[in-house]
Amino acid sequence: MAEVVIVPSAAAAGVLVADEIAALIRRQPDAVLGLATGSTPLPVYEALRPRLTGIDVSRVRGFALDEYVGIDPHHPESYRSVITREVVEPLGLNPDLIHTPNGSLETIEHAGDDYDRAIADAGGIDLQILGIGTSGHIGFNEPGSSFASRTRVKTLIEQTREDNARFFDSIDDVPMHCITQGLGTILEARHLFLLAFGENKAAAVAGAVEGPVTASLPGSAIQLHPHVTVVVDEAAASQLQDADYYRYAFANKPDWQGL
Ligand code: PGA
């Protein structure tokens, strides 16, 4: 099963994951990162910045999880803009090597296949950062998504549009459709880090980690992956049945094992 690490704060989670990413880039300068947007990964990117000092990041490659369909890529809330602002610029990455799915309507019919091919051509994703929605989605794979799904267009559920309305002037401005890496695509990454903070994520986290494996809670797909690290604060861990065991296992983790 996934390793669950319960940390005191989102900042502590950021440090833990950033240390892993910095170590990965040090040993593999052309590492392929799976990048997430939203509030959850921000502490990771923040902690990563000082850890990259003196490390050559010019060959680091990256693939975002998802993008809105039909949004102007220059819109401040397009995921292309968000990734540029929150990841590429602060970390000094080469923008030509950092990809987001193409949400343009002109090419949308084959944009999913193009994206999966680009990931495969890059040799696959080494380390994938994931948040989880209150609906249990990972990427924008809303409940009902096939575990075999590839990058494709999905319709956002109302709950997700409400959750994301904070980034827009009003909910009416939140796009209805997105293009997201599929669950099958995400499961091909070599190491998944699923992060969640706050009480409102507790049910989704418990379902993903300990619930039945079900398309009704897409995050539960992580149970099918051999190398997953779930990093949560106390509030997001509050509905986990086996929280004490996870704490015990992490406190007694052999040094040689790593994450
Ligand atoms: P959040 O979104 O990080 O903004 O909470 C997570 C998600 O919807 O996957």
Tokens linked to 155: 């319709």
Residue 142 appears among annotated catalytic residues: yes
Ligand 1 pocket, Cβ-based, cut-off 6 angstroms: 38-40, 131-133, 137
pLDDT at 230: 98
pLDDT digits (tens, 9 = 90+) for 112-131: 999 999 999 999 999 999 99
HEC states along 2-50?
Answer: CEEEEECCHHHHHHHHHHHHHHHHHHCCCCEEEECCCCCCHHHHHHHHH
With 80 as the cut, is the pLDDT of residue 250 above it?
Answer: yes
Q: Which of 20, 142, 163, 233 is catalytic?
A: 142
Instruction: Report which ligand 1 atom has the smallest distance to the Cα of 160.
Output: 8
Nearest CA to ligand 1 atom 7: 133
Among 65, 77, 132, name the best residue to mutate to test ligand 1's pocket (greatest count of ligand atoms within 8 A of Cβ).
132
With 80 as the cut, is the pLDDT of residue 87 above it?
Answer: yes
Domains, in order of start, for the chain: 3-253 (3.40.50.1360)
Q: pLDDT band for position 135 (50/70/90)?
A: very high
With 80 as the cut, is the pLDDT of residue 196 above it?
Answer: yes
Tokens linked to 100: 């987001």
pTM for this model (two decimals): 0.96
- Listed in sequence order, the residues at least 6 apart from 228 whose beta carbon sits closer than 8 Å to its beta carbon are 1, 2, 3, 191, 192, 193, 194, 222
Are 112 and 153 spatial neighbours (Cβ–Cβ below 8 Å)? yes
Among 39, 40, 128, name the best residue to mutate to test ligand 1's pocket (greatest count of ligand atoms within 8 A of Cβ).
40
Instruction: Report which ligand 1 atom has the smallest distance to the Cα of 201.
Output: 5
Instruction: Work out the angle between the directed axes of helices 10-27 and 42-51 (0-180°, nearest 10).
Output: 50
With 90 as the cut, is the pLDDT of residue 103 above it?
Answer: yes
With 90 as the cut, is the pLDDT of residue 157 above it?
Answer: yes
Residues 34-44 have a mean pLDDT of: 97
Are 47 and 14 spatial neighbours (Cβ–Cβ below 8 Å)? yes
For residues 94 and 57, what is the distance between their CA atoms, to the nearest angstrom?
Answer: 8
With 90 as the cut, is the pLDDT of residue 1 above it?
Answer: no
- Listed in sequence order, the residues at least 6 apart from 142 whose beta carbon sits closer than 8 Å to its beta carbon are 135, 154, 155, 156, 157, 160, 218
Instruction: Report which ligand 1 atom has the smallest distance to the Cα of 130.
Output: 9
For the chain, give the percent of residues with pLDDT over 90: 97
Instruction: Report which ligand 1 atom has the smallest distance to the Cα of 132.
Output: 9
With 80 as the cut, is the pLDDT of residue 10 above it?
Answer: yes
pLDDT at 255: 87
Residue 242 appears among annotated catalytic residues: no
* Cross-strand partners of 233: 7
Output the CA 58–ligand 1 centroid distance in Å.
28
What's the sign of the alpha-carbon dihedral 248, 252, 254, 259? positive
Tokens linked to 112: 């999913």
Query: Average per-residue pLDDT in the chain?
Result: 97
pLDDT digits (tens, 9 = 90+) for 201-248: 999 999 999 999 999 999 999 999 999 999 999 999 999 999 999 999
